[in-house]
Amino acid sequence: MVNAPAEQKKLPSWWSGGSVVYQIYPASFKDDNGDGYGDLRGIINKLGHIKSLGVDAIWICPHYKSPRVDEGLYVDTDIHEPFGTREDCQELIDAVHAHGMKIMFDLVVNHCSDQHAWFKESRSSKTNPKRDWFYWKPPRMIDGVRHPPNNWRSCFGGSVWEWDEHTQEYYLHYFCPEQPDLNWENPETRQAIYNDAIRYWLDRGVDGFRIDTVNMYSKYLDFPDAKVVAPETLWQPAGDFFSNGPRLQEFLREMRKETFSKYDCFTIGELPNTPSLEKILSYISTDAEALDCTILFDLADLDHRGGQYPLMGRNWALSQFKALTAFAQQLAEPEHKAHALTYLENHDQARSVTRYASDAPEHRLTSSKLLATYLLTLSGSIIIYEGQEIGMINAPKDWDIDTEYLDVNTINTWREIKHDAKVQNDPSLLERGRAGIQLTARDHARTPMQWDGSENAGFSSNPDAKPWYRVMESYAEGLNVAAQEDDPNSTLNFYRQLVSLRKAHKDLFILGRFQLLDPGNDQTMLFTKTALDGSQVAFVALNFSAEKQPFELPIELTARQNQLLISTLGKSSESRELDAYEARVYLA
């Protein structure tokens, strides 16, 4: 059903009490028509599984018509043909609502495809009316040689500027050359975005958006050179210039006023390069009148992005993980008038069991439950990514990066690393780069969903169809939905149990105040969740190590009657010692 916009947004909105959102990457979720490529009808057919998790909403990654250079991160109102039709899309929206859930789409309006009609017009001539819908600059001439306007490195490697031979100018692209950045300074461009990319879908019943790179709309128009921190390369990291430009708040408030505020709509904005609490609140507090909440990157970047190569791994300590969690949980405190959101996996992040715990066969089950306990006891809203609910892990290390990894960021980064290792005659650089990709590449989250133990994990309705991405062999080792469905000890049923527990104790786990204990401990994470009226306290104990670890109840809880609410071992214990990767939650 198409929902007409309300005159004024009614509060509290559907998400404001804290929602669990299930994210779907359409190409890899379920292939219904047997072509080896996931599709919208595959999602429709699996809504019963999603509903069984107890989630409140689903978020569908980009499924818009595009060349799929970066897997559909573009603006369009048509549907990518392998996914289905507009009619299929409307049926999906209606079916999600019929299951009692909400549906969110991706909103990608920092850039569009170089095949989009807007950009084709813009690059046709310097006098075209849409020339100013994008950022065009003449070359910088040095000693008679043409150079890009500045030295910024794009998010996927190389310069942010691409030369256009036809009009003899460069255009700006923060990501791939095939993704030219839209010029938000132009009010005509903004109105076209509001109409074609936002109102179009809200009028068809979509309940909200995950907004891609939302703090990149406003540019620093002088485009200064970035500080040289990697002298061995021409292009320098420029994250501080990519984000939080001078007119960003103005643009976000206008977008909200003209579109989101007229619907019961949930907006989740990506805010990279935004480490300040004050700056975050300037976008997501209710006073800001801009976004509802944010996807932060600090925790997700903890184990990589340590230098020139975005996928190069770096060492981290649990104390850092804990500090970043505590920082983000501040957004749930009532005095900030904001909304917190936590995730461990998404389409841009490798699998959390491999990254933050252990994917060793003897620890996979307990590690997946440990991370589920961490995630689902935090305040605010939560995102669960497809496959996370069965404990999917990274691809095996024997997969060949050159032939099995398909993500554009991986391909570009690996090419850079191989080139630099050869130039510098440094084999260790190559090995460190390989290890970083095996740990943090986006590819690990984009392999097909593992439904059962049949050929290719039951991903396709056609067992003879070759999936677009290689299926991970772990599906044959119990990491599939069918194998876990009736197993009371499975990761799948533990997620269901935790989501139910979370809702049953909403005042603690969704709205409660977070307090980190023993912040310097690098083996265990201990925290309390206290109801805002002080009536109840939950104590969460997590062992992030492969060895047994002692813990103590907080002094203020020792005098109270403590109930073991849940344990990842599935049994009650009076011991004040956690087994390897064990998690417990006590209620006082």
- Dihedral sign, CA of 58, 470, 406, 425? positive
Question: What is the dihedral angle through the alpha carbons of 353, 359, 363, 369, rounded to the nearest 10 degrees?
Answer: 20
Rg (CA), the chain: 24
Residue in 43, 89, 19 with CA at minimum distance from that of residue 449:
43
At 55, the amino acid letter reads V
Determine the Cα–Cα distance for residues 78 and 404; give it in Å rounded to an integer: 30
Determine the Cα–Cα distance for residues 438 and 431; give it in Å rounded to an integer: 11
Give the phi and the psi of residue 31 in degrees, each rounded to 5: -95, 110
| Active-site residue identified among 212, 386, 407, 420 | 212
Degrees (nearest 5) of the Cα angle 569, 575, 576? 105
Which residues are CB-neighbours of 21 under 8 A, at least 6 positions away?
55, 56, 57, 58, 59, 104, 381, 382, 383, 384
Determine the Cα–Cα distance for residues 411 and 293; give it in Å rounded to an integer: 32
Determine the Cα–Cα distance for residues 117 and 438; give it in Å rounded to an integer: 38
DSSP at 182: B
Question: What is the dihedral angle through the alpha carbons of 408, 409, 411, 417, rounded to the nearest 10 degrees?
Answer: 160
- Does the annotation mark 407 as catalytic? no
DSSP at 123: T
Residue in 270, 257, 283, 158 with CA at minimum distance from that of residue 212:
270
Cα diameter, the chain: 79
**Please, are residues 448 and 467 in contact by the beta-carbon 8 Å criterion?**
yes
| Helix residue ranges, H only, 259-310 | 277-284
- Does the annotation mark 212 as catalytic? yes
Q: Sheet of 169-172: strands edge to edge?
A: 136-137, 169-172, 161-164
**Please, are residues 487 and 391 in contact by the beta-carbon 8 Å criterion?**
no
Which residues are CB-neighbours of 187 under 8 A, at least 6 positions away?
none
| Active-site residue identified among 32, 270, 407, 582 | 270
DSSP at 260: G
Determine the Cα–Cα distance for residues 239 and 244; give it in Å rounded to an integer: 10
Determine the Cα–Cα distance for residues 166 and 203; give it in Å rounded to an integer: 39
Give the phi and the psi of residue 179 in degrees, each rounded to 5: -125, 70
Length of the chain (residues): 588
Return the residue matching tokens 């401990």: 521
Respond yes or no on whether the N-terminal peptide bond of residue 224 is cis (omega within 30° of 0): no
The catalytic residues are: 212, 270
